[in-house]
Structure 1
């Protein structure tokens, strides 16, 4: 178990790298840049007084990055949040005498704020993640678990019923195809399929069955949780909360408001979880050198992703629980009634579980596929294919997106 001194020494080692990253925020105003530089270059700083100034800079940067479209935010503003979050963490650790539940929770809150709203600095891309790793060794002494496992809250009596009013075909399931056949019959042919026996070696298939595993590993980490029926709902919103609070309030005890950790870069924020999975070899069929996007989907029974399509190839791996999925080819687009609003143009108005044929009469002519994805299986979804996803139990899925 790491002591406060051990953790401080590990985190202090990154100071020189952070100093070298100051050139990455050269566009920052002189007053803010001077305060940051002083706190990084003076070994006696930061102290409680300078921590107040650093927090003021963080608050100001947060206001700046939330003005206008997130995609148009200038990178130096987000890099400033990353750097100042590191300095704020140093100040916090200098101001405490011992590790406690509250002190560790505050340290991780500072780190996660920087990860969520900042962005990597070139000099040390995983700076804040590395700082969090230094603190993880102390998590077990401050996290209390509830003693409830996923197995006790599953609905295990699930049957696939083709009673959705249209011509649906049960999707093929194939066992661990060769690379050549997968490329020829599914990548090139743009044909969806369920893959079996491809991820049976993942430690996640056993470890993630018990939700207390997440609490013990990273219960104090802050994540952004979607609240509401789905993202097309007018009441849909997002809220920051710890993983422990999310599990206890939305997994163990179903809430009146559905909470969903959806399309979330959990493995970038908490690299320790990535050790439980492996990137599928089928993702090697890429048209670019870009990194594969790995997303987490974690929530209770009843979470829904409305009928929509994505621009990239997608392997959706089911780790915990089961999901029912409807799929339609791009040729069926007109019969699915896409939203006309620019922000929802990749989302359809039809709910394939209960289609309203008076509003959407063309839907009865649509042809699609349906499957129930079980733990240890992966679903290949070609680019632009429409898919509707519903959790039939507590569920944890991992998606791999690539060009």
Structure 2
């Protein structure tokens, strides 16, 4: 059995689950539904013309899910995109007999498009991720940068003069669950936690950026381009993780690129094996799963002063970040944007506050810390925080109610 046939056979084993998921897209129009049902129920019906028909369904679903507010998109449309992506992947592998690097790269691009714009099926929530795993063992690794891919911190990042109007945040050495809950969760008080991540494989593996290229360099991700999300030139672009690392992590002269607030570990489960959900996240008021987000970028990436509705443990894995944090009681001194889309973001830059323009800021009582690799910062709900990377940085945030 050839490599292509082996992969095609592995992916084909998910067919039964996908067929059972047809009930989840029952609202689909007759034309699209007939195309999907035909090729799912009869594998022999896949031919060269099938690719065009299936791609047409994908393109139509993509148009539909991008109309209006993303949160209001009907789930059956995104689920249809997932099912159609599965069929598109099968057709791609069936009609490319030689499993070249380009064929694998295109197969992973097809999968990632489906993950980014589709959504999990009840019948097989990890369908496309499992398909990607079938391909990973056949990816050839060729990492050549011409630069040192390991993160090296310069001595000046270790010392920082006390920023105006802010106190140094307390650091706790791996507190007990009871102590953390009573004095920080209940009290809604921020704190830096030390020596809580020493058991994470990521602390050593992720120091060398070539690790990401070897593991997932061909995977497509969404990258933020620009100074920060309040900038008029800010935009987003799809690119492979390898292109992001080569063109943005190691290119200080180009446009700032940031993989920010990104569900990377849902898309690439192999990376999730390198991290462990902190036990402190168990203090939840709901049964909802913890939201795990990745923040990966070069020196100088910035998250403007903003607040989030959930509890947040920000784990620093690679590099260092300067973080300023303010109580919700200081909101009036931080000059939040008045626009509805930015009302959780403030106009103050705590690194260089403009007191002539924002005179009330002098009454704010902020804190700051230099968050180092191996440390976590607990940010209570609605607390304002500003974050700046001092080096190549990879952080993982855990959000829960």
> TM-score when scaled to structure 1?
0.97
Equivalent runs, 1:126-165 vs 2, <5 Å: 126-139=126-139, 141-146=140-145, 148-151=147-150, 154-165=153-164
Q: Is the 8 A contact 1:308 1:387 kept in 2?
A: yes
Q: Which residue of 2 aligns with 1:372?
A: 370
Partners of 1:189 and 1:36 in 2: CA distance: 53
Q: Which residue of 1 aligns with 2:55?
A: 55
Secondary structure of the 2:338 match is coil
Task: Give the Å deviation of 1:155.
Answer: 3.3
Which residue among 263, 266, 272 is the counterpart of 2:264?
266
Q: Which residue of 2 aligns with 1:25?
A: 25
Q: 1:223 to 1:4 in 2, by over 3 A?
A: same
Which residue among 234, 237, 245 is the counterpart of 1:236?
234
Residues 234-289 of structure 1: CA deviation (Å, up to 9, x unaligned): 10000000000000000122242100000000000000000000000000000000
Q: 1:278 to 1:336 in 2, by over 3 A?
A: same
Partners of 1:159 and 1:130 in 2: CA distance: 42
Equivalent runs, 1:169-248 vs 2, <5 Å: 169-248=167-246
Partners of 1:170 and 1:310 in 2: CA distance: 22
Q: Is the 8 A contact 1:318 1:375 kept in 2?
A: yes
Residues 1-50 of structure 1: CA deviation (Å, up to 9, x unaligned): x9222211110000111111111111111011000100111121322211
Q: Which residue of 1 aligns with 2:350?
A: 352
Q: How many residues align?
A: 400
Q: Which residue of 1 aligns with 2:76?
A: 76
Q: Is the 8 A contact 2:172 2:193 kept in 1?
A: yes
Q: Tell me how large the CA RMSD over aligned residues is.
A: 1.2
The reply to whether residue 304 of structure 1 matches residue 318 of structure 2 is no
The more displaced of 325-334 and 4-13 is: 4-13
Partners of 1:161 and 1:300 in 2: CA distance: 19
Q: Is the 8 A contact 2:312 2:380 kept in 1?
A: yes
Partners of 2:312 and 2:118 in 1: CA distance: 27
Gaps of 5+ in 2: none
Secondary structure of the 1:44 match is helix
Q: Which residue of 2 aligns with 1:382?
A: 380
Secondary structure of the 1:214 match is helix
Residues 200-232 of structure 1: CA deviation (Å, up to 9, x unaligned): 010000000001000000000000000000000
Secondary structure of the 2:331 match is helix
Q: Which residue of 1 aligns with 2:283?
A: 285
Q: Which residue of 2 aligns with 1:6?
A: 6
Q: Is the 8 A contact 1:225 1:241 kept in 2?
A: yes
Q: Is the 8 A contact 1:101 1:142 kept in 2?
A: no
Gaps of 5+ in 1: none
Q: Is the 8 A contact 1:145 1:216 kept in 2?
A: no
Q: Which residue of 1 aligns with 2:113?
A: 113
Q: Which residue of 2 aligns with 1:124?
A: 124
Q: Is the 8 A contact 2:151 2:208 kept in 1?
A: no
Partners of 2:329 and 2:127 in 1: CA distance: 45
